[in-house]
Structure 1
């Protein structure tokens, strides 16, 4: 199974100046179209006097959902090189908005392509990326008397999700590397933790 694409480690804002034109790049991790549209709307409100707000985004586990916009720049000179920079970096779950203030000097087609693509590449380098992996989500349950011991043992090796204490017991979801559920159960048994487990499904998590 191929590993899922990495995502940006953090949101960044970077700036470059080319022939007196100012290029401000806002690059952020996003999960869906609504989130990326919200980023663009926020940037437009923040800089209403800018001449262009060009965008590129990649979404989906395999980066299959892609969007770009030249926002008034000559066709193919802004959104396409921005998207090429994102795809070249092999990332997903990301939106880049490059806000441009014209500096009075025409950059030409090649100059615009280099400026917009370079702006996104620079922002990606500053943001860094987080590798990810496929996991199976394993539910672990126990009675009210054993939850503390089980939780302490699991936290030594795993990140726990949806930890819940109720009057009838303790429950948590454990992301286990794909294909290693039986080994996980064997480790529990070997540690004397004979507790019910169930695979809830698959997901993608940071590696």
Structure 2
């Protein structure tokens, strides 16, 4: 699996079009059961709304894909929401857009634009993470080489997960799989082979607030 866009935390967005309110709730899901339970929860929360239109995808290759217009004219709600979802590159994700009718008909084009805009607003208010396959690598070095190694790692945008100080220094770093071998050669050359490198295995990681989040299991 290459780089993977993951909805790490859901969010809510809202737009108003000709007094109609469109409220988008976005959430990560791992199964159809989770999706249906979330939809039911939103229906209960906004029990007095006219429409609850949704789309969701789940599975390693988006095998599960569903959408619903929930009473809106065919093709004006569920499909546009699904297009936003698939266009975003997100996986294992559900968007449900609740509409409170404002008294003015929007027409098919207006509905498509409104549901599209609401879905995008929901994603914009969520936490989306780029998940990167990487080698979790332990680097051991003398203190004299620490500054040089840290400079190279910083220059190349390498994430340091942990730093331990003892007789020497141990850095646990996350080397993107496609550049790991090249990065290690660079560090070995820069320290005249004084650095010790231990492969800690393959992981996937993303960044949340400047901190790495590790995914050691599969991404469903």
TM-score (ref. length: structure 1): 0.64
2:23 and 2:97 in contact (8 A); partners too:
yes
The structure richer in strand per residue is 2
Cα distance in structure 2, aligned partners of 1:173 and 1:50:
51
Q: Is the 8 A contact 1:142 1:170 kept in 2?
A: yes
Residues 171-201 of structure 1: per-residue CA shift (max 9 Å, x gap): 7653223332222222332343522321622
Aligned-pair CA distance for 1:112: 3.2
> For structure 2, which runs of at least 5 residues remain unmatched after alignment?
208-220
Q: Is the Cα contact below 8 Å between 2:140 and 2:196 reproduced in 1?
A: yes
- The CA distance in 2 between the partners of 1:13 and 1:195, in whole Å, is 49
Tell me the residue number matched to 1:189: 188
Q: Which residue of 2 aligns with 1:136?
A: 134
Compute the TM-score of the two structures, normalised by the length of structure 2: 0.61
Q: Any stretches of 5+ residues in structure 1 without a counterpart?
A: none
When the two structures are aligned, how many residues end up with a matched partner?
Answer: 197
> Relative to structure 1, is the Cα distance of residues 200 and 36 closer, same or farther in structure 2, using a 3 angstrom cutoff?
farther
1:91 equivalent in structure 2: 89
Structure 1 residues 103-182: aligned runs within 5 Å: 103-124=102-123, 126-127=124-125, 132=130, 134-140=132-138, 142=140, 153=150, 156=154, 157-161=157-161, 163=162, 173-182=172-181
Partner of 2:15: 15
Q: Distance in 2 between matches of 1:74 and 1:98?
A: 15
CA contact (8 A) 1:140 1:196 kept: yes
